[in-house]
A and B are shown apart, each in its own frame.
Chain A
Amino acid sequence: AQKVTQAQTEISVVEKEDVTLDCVYETRDTTYYLFWYKQPPSGELVFLIRRNSFDEQNEISGRYSWNFQKSTSSFNFTITASQVVDSAVYFCALSEAGTASKLTFGTGTRLQVTL
């Protein structure tokens, strides 16, 4: 069965610091998909990125970057020069091919960015 582990429960940083959120996953499938979602205080889960298992190319989008390493089953998320607006709970999730794309979520990491 699939599993997603986010070992960091809560992280506090000062604005402009870089921060990395860790995500480790388990799956027996060779084809799978990894996601990051942001949940601000409003409660809505906001989609950030999706990666498939056969594309290990890292991705950068503005201040956000993602490092996908199959060798360590990790899909880490880095925010560069963090801002107060980045404060939220971040969830890593996994879906496997053939499972109707049901998402298995990690427990989330709460990021607090202060001035």
Chain B
Amino acid sequence: GAGVSQSPSNKVTEKGKDVELRCDPISGHTALYWYRQSLGQGLEFLIYFQGNSAPDKSGLPSDRFSAERTGGSVSTLTIQRTQQEDSAVYLCASSLVLTAAKNIQYFGAGTRLSVL
């Protein structure tokens, strides 16, 4: 597609269940980012990928969060044993390159996660 695609757009789950959020970046973009937007924390960085590699996982809020990227394209953010504080909008972005001098991140519409 022309833009960053995220699915599902909305996800309601029960506390303790696992969820998977998907991001399909713009074709040819090597860098991919995950951010979280919540009322209390604003927009916060979670993790980035250069190709299939995620060198820095320090932004992930807990070890219940993990992410992977395959084929240099689609990425999945997985949250295990969801908690109510995980409720937020999860945004994915991609950029043609990682290098700051040429980096412009284009965002998807996000996945709104509600944990009951």
A interface residue numbers (CB < 8 A to B)? 31, 33, 35, 37, 42-47, 50, 52, 91, 95-108
Contact = CB atoms under 8 A, between A and B. Distances in A.
A37 B50 CA distance: 23
Contact of B45 (A46, A50, A102): A102
Contact of A47 (B45, B106, B108): B106
Given A91-B43, A101-B95, A44 B100 contact: no
Nearest to A97: B100
Contacts of A102: 33, 45, 48, 59
B25 interface: no
A33 B109 contact: no
Q: Is the interface of B mostly helix, strand, loop or mixed?
A: strand
Given A91-B43, A100-B50, A47 B104 contact: yes
B31 interface: yes
Interface of B: 31, 33, 35, 42-45, 48, 50, 55-56, 59, 89, 91, 93, 95, 98-101, 103-110, 112
Contacts of B42: 105-108
B43 A101 contact: no
Contacts, number: 65
A85 B7 CA distance: 26
Given A43-B110, A100-B55, A100-B56, A105 B43 contact: yes
Given A44-B107, A100-B55, A100-B98, 7 more contacts: A43-B112, A44-B109, A50-B104, A100-B31, A101-B98, A102-B59, A103-B33
Given A45-B91, A103-B35, A98 B100 contact: yes
A103 B108 contact: no
